Amino acid sequence: MAASDNIPTHIAVIMDGNGRWARRRALPRHAGHRSGVGSVRKIVELAAEKGVKYLTLFAFSSENWARPREEVSKLMSLFFEALQREVEELHRNNVRLEFIGAREQLQTGLIEKIAAAEAQTAGNTGLRLIVAVAYGGRWDIVRATQSLAGKVAAGELDVRDIDDEAIAAELQLTGVPDPDLLVRTGGEQRISNFLLWNLAYAELYFCDTLWPDFGDKDFDDALAFYAVRQRRYGHTGDQVGAVN
């Protein structure tokens, strides 16, 4: 198999750098977020084209609620508008759109839009596009723990049956294979409370490109980085075979 054929099944992306992109242009931070929507369109297209099965995008973290009220409110409006504008085309392209995160924290209008988009695209068989909004990896694990503890307390689950699988089944990405590749734009090399459990064995790719500037070349570079990784999962290189 040529290295170029080694396409990740699931790519997770921390879309960072919108604020800096705007500042460099002496624009308000919001202009960066707005421009970032174009990069979302682009990466969805590229991922679908390459045969990626799952694309999970970090759009708003649990911690991002702490930003200035005006920025948060403009971001929420932007999510609403983007849904309004983009869902038809995603649907035409057979994309299944889903959201993860504490959606009960969002405004009713946005919750309804999300639910409608999910329902409209639920039967699509192409790329699964998962958008993380009001999402935090710790929040996800806390929720899973509460659910499991509740089942134990109700006598539905034995403590000894709590294993990797049981925990994974309670997480937001239940039924979705773990990300193979994590891409973070914007130059920071950290996870920022994204998918803490699911990223256990992801290959990590960091680039300096600011999210609104993300394009074909960045995507190709990330795929090229991934294609030559040897994924060992704790085994030796010899055990897992072909060394790249």
Q: Catalytic positions, please?
A: 16, 64
Using CA atoms, how far apart are residues 84 and 78, in angstroms rounded to an integer? 10
Per rule CB under 6 A, is residue 18 in the interface with ligand IPE?
yes
Segment lying near Mg ion (by CB under 5 A), choices 4-12, 15-23, 51-59, 223-231: 15-23
C-alpha dist (Å) from residue 53 to 10, 122, 124, 126, 162:
6, 15, 12, 7, 29
Per rule CB under 5 A, is residue 16 in the interface with Mg ion?
yes
The residue nearest ligand IPE at its CB is 19
Exposed / middle / buried, residue 171 (Cβ in 10 Å: 0-12, 13-18, 19+): buried
Which two tokens mark 28?
């308000």
What does DSSP say about strands 128-135 and 54-61: parallel, antiparallel, or unpaired?
Answer: parallel
Q: Where are the alpha helices (DSSP H) in 67-107?
A: 69-92
Residue of the chain from 12, 15, 43, 117 that contacts ligand IPE (CB under 6 A): 15
Which of the listed partners (ligand IPE, Mg ion, none) does 59 bind, with a CB threshold of 5 to 8 Å by partner kind? ligand IPE
Size of the site for ligand IPE (CB under 6 A): 17
The site string for ligand IPE over 162-191 (x = CB under 6 A, - otherwise) reads: ------------------------x-x-x-
Residue of the chain from 6, 64, 93, 124 that contacts ligand IPE (CB under 6 A): 64
Exposed / middle / buried, residue 22 (Cβ in 10 Å: 0-12, 13-18, 19+): buried
Q: What residues make contact with Mg ion under the rule CB under 5 A?
A: 16
Q: What residues make contact with ligand IPE under the rule CB under 6 A?
A: 14-20, 58-61, 64, 75, 186, 188, 190, 192
